[in-house]
Structure 1
Amino acid sequence: MNPGFDEFVQGRGWALLRFAYLLSGDAHLAEDLVQEVLARMHRRWDRITAMEHAEAYVRTAITRQFLSWRRRRSARESIVAELPEIPDGFEPQQRVLARDQMWRLLAGLPRAQRAVLVLRFYCDLPDDEIAALLGCGESTVRSQASRALTRMRTMLTAEEVRDGG
């Protein structure tokens, strides 16, 4: 048993699951991602905790695992459950509709673009940290974010036209 590892998982496990869920949009896939990454991390936890930002290292591993699963796994993405809270002022019905719409928009993005948006808007990371985490340049992060937002706007406009609103 590794008490430091156990404490980390008990203290930060739910946050890691929520992060993986936002990336994948699937509760079961999120659990698989976190479990697989933590199982690999357990063997070398002493070296990981010696780093300055162990949780950031674990999140990086989860993100990379998520991005690599597109090649290994044929799991279909589905729109389920909850997004982070929407600001007050929305009626309950509007909140549900907004969440559903956001999931549809996020699910319509390629994995790398979705990862960039989650890291930028959920984790509130600057472009240089996202680039380091994804192993790409800052300009790639900016272009992926721009393309993702443009694609989401296009999908949103198409929905509005289709719904007559």
Structure 2
Amino acid sequence: MRARDDAEFTEFAATMIRPLRRTAFLMCGDWHRAEDAAQDALVKVYRRWNRIERREGVRSYAHRAVVTSVLDQGRKPWRRERLNDPDDAALVVPDVGGPVDNRLMVVKALAQLPPSQRACVVLRYYNDLSVDETADILGVSAGGVKSQTSRGLDRLRQLIGHPERSAS
């Protein structure tokens, strides 16, 4: 890779590591696994840096890579952990400026969603991606994203204790 490309990638990685780590954490509920997934995603981006379309393609590819990495980690037998362990509360970085209890409740509820629903909810509402962007990242149709997101939100409402659907 040329020095200019190396500098571009370094700038991209510095900008994207936090959002990728946050996405991975919301999908797996473990900061250590999230860090691994974010780094794996950046390695995949680095390997294809010269072939990825630079406009929005590189961000989309990075998100796809982190989602794939988290899902792959979860398939490994030694990684099948549940967030129900009381010691897992220590893994969550305290949020000094906001309601920690609500955040923990949402993270635990997200962990109980099936992987496809969790990925759709995280990408749509935590990463603020469109239906089409989410569909592209996950490799599914826009209708699939809509249905998985709807089911995921309904399940989250049940888990959190707000079964009624708010009018949007």
| Coarse TM-score class (shorter-chain normalised) | 0.7 to 0.9
4+ long deviations beyond 6 Å: 83-86
Deviations 1:95-140 (A, max 9, x none): 1221121122111111111111011111112212211111111221
**Equivalent-residue separation in structure 1 for 2:71 and 2:139 (angstroms):** 12
For residue 38 of structure 1, the aligned residue among 39, 42, 46 is 42
* 1:52 matches 2:52: no
Normalised by the size of structure 2, how large is the TM-score? 0.76
Instruction: Tell me the equivalent position of 1:22.
Output: 26
Q: 1:39 to 1:107 in 2, by over 3 A?
A: same
Normalised by the size of structure 1, how large is the TM-score? 0.77
Q: Which runs of 5+ in 2 are unaligned?
A: 163-168
CA deviation after TM superposition for structure 1 residue 15, in Å: 2.4
SS in 2 for 1:74: helix
RMSD of aligned Cα (Å)? 2.6
**Equivalent-residue separation in structure 2 for 1:47 and 1:117 (angstroms):** 29
Deviations 1:62-91 (A, max 9, x none): 1122223332353214354259999xxxxx
Identical residues among aligned pairs (%): 35
* 1:99 matches 2:110: no
**Aligned partner letter, 1:24:** C
Q: 1:24 to 1:118 in 2, by over 3 A?
A: same
Q: 1:25 to 1:97 in 2, by over 3 A?
A: same
Q: Which runs of 5+ in 1 are unaligned?
A: 87-91, 159-165
Q: 1:55 to 1:84 in 2, by over 3 A?
A: farther
Instruction: Tell me the equivalent position of 1:61.
Output: 65
Stretch moving more, 148-157 or 29-38: 148-157
CA deviation after TM superposition for structure 1 residue 44, in Å: 2.7
Stretch moving more, 138-147 or 63-72: 63-72
> Is the contact made by 1:20 and 1:63 (CA closer than 8 Å) also made in structure 2?
yes
